[in-house]
Amino acid sequence: MLVSATEMLKKAVAGKYAVGQFNINNLEWTKAILQTAQENNSPVILGVSEGAGKYMCGFKTVSAMVKAMIEELNITVPVALHLDHGTYDGCMKCIEAGFSSVMFDGSHFPIEENKAKTTELVNICHSKGISIEAEVGAIGGEEDGVIGSGEIADPNECKTIADLGVDFLAAGIGNIHGKYPENWKGLDFDALAAIKTLIGDLPLVLHGGTGIPADMIKKAISLGVAKINVNTECQLYFQAATRKYIEEGKDLQGKGFDPRKLLAPGFEAIKEIVKEKMELFGSINKA
Ligand SMILES: [Zn+2]
């Protein structure tokens, strides 16, 4: 069932768990994540970056694929189709294409411009029943060529953006995209607690979920994080399983070259890591 992410995240805040956003890249990714959510009776958010949207032949193609797959696979758990780190134009395209949720990443604009653009998009989204995420404090690491330095969000700025009516808020607390470096200092829980005090029950989003230790994830959830983005980890699992299949020479045996066989180990690996994350986040049986 395609829905906005608003209700599922309100429930997550109240129930002290988080819903995973897993980014998709193609049909196999989408099917693996949807099936895992259904098998575990978990709500789920499918994340699509602008780069991945382009790769999959545009947001309309993505939206049509996801909607058809939900119907054909009888997916009854709540599913949100969400634009990840959207530009203003990207948000407009996704709204038109039938996405149920968007993120407007205005963190690189001066605060006044971020506010004006966010307000405009909040109004459009809410008139159509679409949820909207905003970001304060750039998330470190690289995403689609944009490199952020891992800022700690200013709690007052978070409050300002929250008051514009966004449905959930990504706040930088030292988290970064991609793999974490050896000398990473960890999440800043004092900053997270200060933000939570000012914004109340508004769901918080933790980007860069790959490689954050389980105890830090649990603590973040206890402090109001209700949505955790996972992208790189699925890619690493897919890569390792695919590499193993080929290194064992299985693609050379019988019909091992058949793409449905060649991609199967990677597909199963994505299912495994998504289930593991749903267990860690506490979203199993919360659909
Ligand atoms: Zn992100």
Ligand 1 centroid to Cα of residue 253, in Å, is 40
Ligand 1 centroid to Cα of residue 248, in Å, is 35
What distance lies between CA 80 and its chain's CA centroid?
Answer: 10
Residue 32, both tokens: 């693996």
**What's the pLDDT at 188?**
92
Cα three-residue angle 85-151-218, rounded to 5 degrees: 80
Distance, CA of 22 to CA of 231 (rounded, Å): 6
Ligand 1 centroid to Cα of residue 261, in Å, is 32
How many Cα atoms occupy the beta-carbon half-sphere of 12 within 13 Å? 34
Domain locations along the chain? 6-281
Q: Are strands 44-49 and 79-86 parallel, antiparallel or unpaired?
A: parallel
Q: Are strands 225-230 and 19-23 parallel, antiparallel or unpaired?
A: parallel
CA-wise closest residue to 77 among 132, 7, 13, 166: 7
Distance, CA of 58 to CA of 65 (rounded, Å): 11
Ligand 1 centroid to Cα of residue 169, in Å, is 12
One digit per residue, the tens of pLDDT, for the chain of length 287 reads 999 999 999 999 999 999 999 999 999 999 999 999 999 999 999 999 999 999 999 999 999 999 999 999 999 999 999 999 999 999 999 999 999 999 999 877 888 888 999 999 999 999 999 999 998 877 766 655 555 556 788 999 999 999 999 999 999 998 988 888 888 888 999 999 999 999 999 999 999 888 899 999 999 999 999 999 999 999 999 999 999 999 999 999 999 999 999 999 999 999 999 999 999 999 999 99
What distance lies between CA 98 and its chain's CA centroid?
Answer: 17
CA-wise closest residue to 268 among 39, 45, 67, 21: 39
**3-class SS at 9?**
helix
Ligand 1 centroid to Cα of residue 58, in Å, is 20
Q: Is 200 left (phi over 0), alpha (psi -120 to 50) or beta?
A: left
**What's the pLDDT at 261?**
98
Ligand 1 centroid to Cα of residue 85, in Å, is 6
Ligand 1 centroid to Cα of residue 229, in Å, is 7
**What's the pLDDT at 108?**
79
Ligand 1 centroid to Cα of residue 46, in Å, is 13
Distance, CA of 49 to CA of 220 (rounded, Å): 24
State whether CATH 3.20.20.70 applies to domain 6-281: yes
Quick check: is 251 catalytic?
no
